[in-house]
Every structure is written in C-alpha cells, then in structure tokens.
Structure 1
Amino acid sequence: MSSPQRRPVASLWIGERLQYLNQLCLASHVQQGHQTILYTTHKVENVPEGVEVRDANDVMAIDLELVQGTSASFWSNVFRYKMIKKDDAIWIDCDAFCHRPFPDEMDNIFAGHGMRGALNCGVVKIPREGELIDMLLDYYDNLPDYPPWFNKNQRKKLDRQKDDVPHSEKIYKAERTAFGPQAFTYFAQQTGDYDKAMTPDVLYPVPFQLNDIFYDPHGRVEGWFTDNTLSVHLYTNGTKPWWRKNPPLENSYAWRMCQQVGIDPKQALE
C-alpha cells in the first residue's frame, strides 16, 4: 500500500464486518495514495491495512434503532455532508473503486447517473462553505412535512405511514432515495450547482442495470471507461446474493481488481 500523499477521502460503515468488495474499494483509495478514513459505529474486525478508523460519533450520533427501521445507506446520506463540513474530505461509498486518484484541484466532484438526469451522491465533494451544503444540512436538520419535490402520490405514501414512526423514517419509506440522490439533485438545481456535474463516465461508468458485468470473466468492463474515469461504482446494493457469498470468477473485473489491490475475497464473504 502507498503512504497517503493525496487529499483525504472518507466513508461510513455501520456494522462489525466488511464484505470483500468493501475492503477492495477502501483499499483501492489507499493504493492510489489517498488518506482513507472509515468512520464506524462498531469495532470492525477486517478493515484493510492503511485505512484510518475513526468513531462516527465524531461527526454525528447514529441512532441504531432508526437504522433498523431504515437502512445504513439512509444514514450515510446525512452523514456525508456533515463529514464534508467537518473534514473537507471527498465522500466515497464503500463500493466505489478508485480507478485513478482524484485531482487535488477539484472542489466539485459529483456526477449524473442513469438516464433520468438525476445526480448521484455515491462519490461527492462540494465546498464545505456555500449555499448547497447549507441547504442540504438544513433539510436534514429541519425536515419539512414533505420534501419540496414530492408529488401527490409520494405525499399519499407518506401519509399512510403509521403515526408512531419517526418522521424521517416515514419519508424514507415513502421514497427510499429522498435523502440521497433526490435531495442532492433538487438542492443542486436550486443553487445552480447542478450544471457543475460531471458526466457519468467519470464516477459511474457502468450502468447500475449491468452490474453483473463485474463478475463476468468474459465481460469488457473497461470498455465503459473513458480517459476521464476516476471511480467505478460496483453497486453492492444491487449485487446478486451469489456474488456476495462466493468469490468472483477468475479473470472477472472483481477478481482482477482484488489481485491488483491485494484482497482475498474468500476471507470476507457474506
């Protein structure tokens, strides 16, 4: 592993054990020379060498009961902007592989994703001072009755939630991405930052719908890359159970990257 020389990147892990793809992605940033920080809620037993572990409470308290009613990704959507405000680091999901180092001069690192014009926030860096981060943090800290972009059907779904459920959980259950891409896209549109988005090939070169290609020994994953590609999202939330419970096939992209970074998948299967 390289000694950290480049700007810091950071992520959050809620749980006690990383899966091999998460190890791979974190270690890839270390290998590319980034100071790599993993905030945790528990003692994690298999953090890759070179990753700096910190207490998530240093950024914000994580309500583990609310995690049960929502998801770990729900909390990461709030955590990432509070982390940027505190550390001025680049947020990376634990399934974002570092293809090339992030240039030091980039202060707006986010990209469009898919075909609907939405922004993704799996890898994101915005200025720690400014209208966009202020609007995002205000949204999370002072949740409205309905997110301002909710349509009539989304509002009805929220209204059908049980009265004793926390309001944030109601919003999450009405629209799973209301704290992630939907919020980021909406507020970036309000501030004019939407136009600063990179093209998908920079951070999300392979479409989510094709994520099986990472495990195909005959797949041409690199055919999706361009000279601008910095990060490759592996979409572990869409990974089929087989690939979480079995090592990748030899010569697949996942296998080759594990070889390159020095991760043994057999040691961290689900």
Structure 2
Amino acid sequence: MSTPVRRPVASLWIGERLHYLNQLCLLSHVAHGHPTTLYCTDKVTNVPDGIIVKPATDIMAIDMDIVRQTSESFLSNVFRYKMIEKTDAIWIDCDAFCHKPFPDEMQNIYAGHGFRGALNCGVVYIPPQGALIKQLLDYYENLPDAPAWFNKQQRKRIEKQDTSLPQAVRIYNAERTAFGPQAFTYFAQQTGDFEKALTSDYLYPVPFQLNDVFYDPYGRVEGHFTDNTLSVHLYTNGTKPYWRKNPPLPNSYAARMCAQIGVDASKALEE
C-alpha cells in the first residue's frame, strides 16, 4: 500500500553538510508522505534521496553579511514566513522529527514551548494571507528602533550598539531571540492567534531542558508523547558535543529512529 501524498513541508539549510539528525528529521517527513523541500544557501553535499533541493533565493534575497553578524537562526526566522506566504507549505526546523503526518485540515500549526509557555516557531503553519503573517513580515521588513515588547534594559542594550551597524544586527545583539519566539509570541497576542496555539505535546513533547533523553538507551522518550503528538523536536542547538560527534547508542531514541527511517549516523557526524 502506497503512502498518501500529504501537504508540503519545507526548511532552510545554511552550510554545505547536513548532520545525521538533520537527515533523519527531513526523511521522517518524506516517510509520512509529505513532499519535503530543503532550501539551501550553499551546495549541500549530503542531502538524502527523496528531499527536494531548491535555492534559498527562490524565496528571498539572502544577505550573508547580516547572517555572519547575527546567526543562521536570524535568517531562518525571516525566511520561514516568506516561505509560507509564497508556497503555502508548513515550515519545519531541520531538527523536527515527524512522528505522525500533519492533518490536511489543520490551519494553525504552532505551539507553546517547554516550561515557559511562550510560542515556539520551530514548526509553523499560519494562513499565508492572515493578519499574523502580515504583521510578522512587516516587522522584519520595517524594523523599528526597538521591538514594541522590549523593556527598558533591552532598549538600553540597543542604544549602546554602534549606530553604523544594520538595525537587524543591533536588535539581535540586544536580544538574540527578538526575531524568533519573542516576535512570534508578541504578534500572535496582538492578532488573537495566541489562543489558537496547540499545546506543547503536539510539537514539543520533550522539554528542551531534557534533550539528553534522546541519546539515553534507557530513556523513556515516548513517555512524553500523547495521542496528539505530531512532531518531536530534537533541539540540535542544545545537543552536547559528544552526541554530535558520535553515533547514538543502541536502543536510544535517536538510534531507533535512524534504524526506522534508514539513516546511517556514522556517515554524517559533526567533524
């Protein structure tokens, strides 16, 4: 029996090589029937078969000077909403593992994150013509002197920045998450979309603070899951160096999922 074709998903990669966890997460969506596109700023040498590769410039002009002065996450935070607006695909971070397919009818795919309750934007779909995406894109395209939610201390940190720097860099230096969860949470509150958020078990069943459990052969990762769980965030930005440079231990969640999807971790370790 063939896998049904589902709604498209897409992500962005900055660099020339994927880690095995990224290969695993991208292929997990393919396994569930989601056409999966990886937009790339460079020629990536180890994209697995089954992933559609396109240049990131299909979505927006890429200013790598800004990226170098901020981070890859800054670009992805702008990119994801432009991608949704242009393609109507679901945004997936490259470390989001597809546990179950996204329902065709689900129009608001985002959730609270970890223990704090703020919205995360690691997996996102919002209506491409809605008020929320319009406010987010307006924020990125017309950066303010300071984001509306900044407190006095954050505003002072911007004021201390060199005025010759691009405004995006000045805001980023004042608050690294000002373009990610902070912006998404604030504008969702302004538009009334905050109340439409899924509970964390849908997209972030394991809290960030517990991400070592993915590599523990005796860890009960699935104990965090519910019947709602669609995606499992592996939080590679918080993964310890050992797990990035070595294959996962047998029977750990990471090892079991690699076996299930067909990824050889030893061929895509961090160098």
Give the Cα–Cα distance (whole angstroms) in 2 for the partners of residues 89 and 4 of structure 1: 17
CA distance in 2, matches of 1:37, 1:118: 28
The whole-number CA distance in structure 1 between the counterparts of 2:3 and 2:14 is 26
* Residue equivalent to 2:268: 268
RMSD of aligned Cα (Å):
1.0
- Give the counterpart letter for 1:11 in structure 2: S
1:31-70 deviation per Cα after TM superposition (whole angstroms, max 9, x unaligned): 1110000000111111111110011001001111211111
> Does 2:67 align with 1:71?
no
Whether the aligned pair in 1 keeps the contact of 2:10 and 2:38 (CA below 8 Å) is: yes
Could you state the TM-score of these two structures normalised by the residue count of structure 1? 0.98
- Do the aligned residues in 2 keep the contact of 1:3 with 1:30 (CA within 8 Å)? no
Question: Quick one: which amino acid aligns to residue 61 of structure 1?
Answer: A
The reply to whether residue 140 of structure 1 matches residue 150 of structure 2 is: no
Q: Quote the Cα distance in structure 2 between the aligned partners of 1:162 and 1:20.
A: 39
The offset of 1:162, in angstroms, is 2.0
Structure 1 unmatched ranges of 5 or more? none
How many residue pairs match? The answer is: 269
8 Å contact from structure 1 (residues 172, 179) kept in 2: yes
Separation in 2 of the partners of 1:131 and 1:79? 18
Structure 1 CA distance for aligned equivalents of residues 52 and 14 of structure 2: 15
8 Å Cα contact 2:247/2:265 also seen in 1: yes
Q: Which residue of 1 aligns with 2:81?
A: 81
Contact 2:88–2:128 (CA<8 Å) still a contact in 1? yes
Distance in 1 (CA, whole Å) between partners of 2:142 and 2:110 is 24
Residue 99 of structure 2 is matched in structure 1 by 99
Unaligned runs of 5+ in 2: none
In 1, Cα distance between equivalents of 2:44 and 2:79: 18
The alignment partner of 1:6 has SS state of coil
Q: Deviations over 1:166-194 (max 9, x none)?
A: 11011111111100000000000000000
Q: Is the 8 A contact 2:247 2:266 kept in 1?
A: yes
> Which residue of structure 1 aligns with residue 177 of structure 2?
177
Query: Aligned partners of 1:173 and 1:165: how far apart in 2?
Result: 10
Residue by residue, what CA displacement relative to the aligned partner does 1:199-235 show, whole Å, maximum 9, x if unpaired? 0000000000000000000000000000000000000
Sequence identity (%):
74
Q: Distance in 1 between matches of 2:203 and 2:88?
A: 19
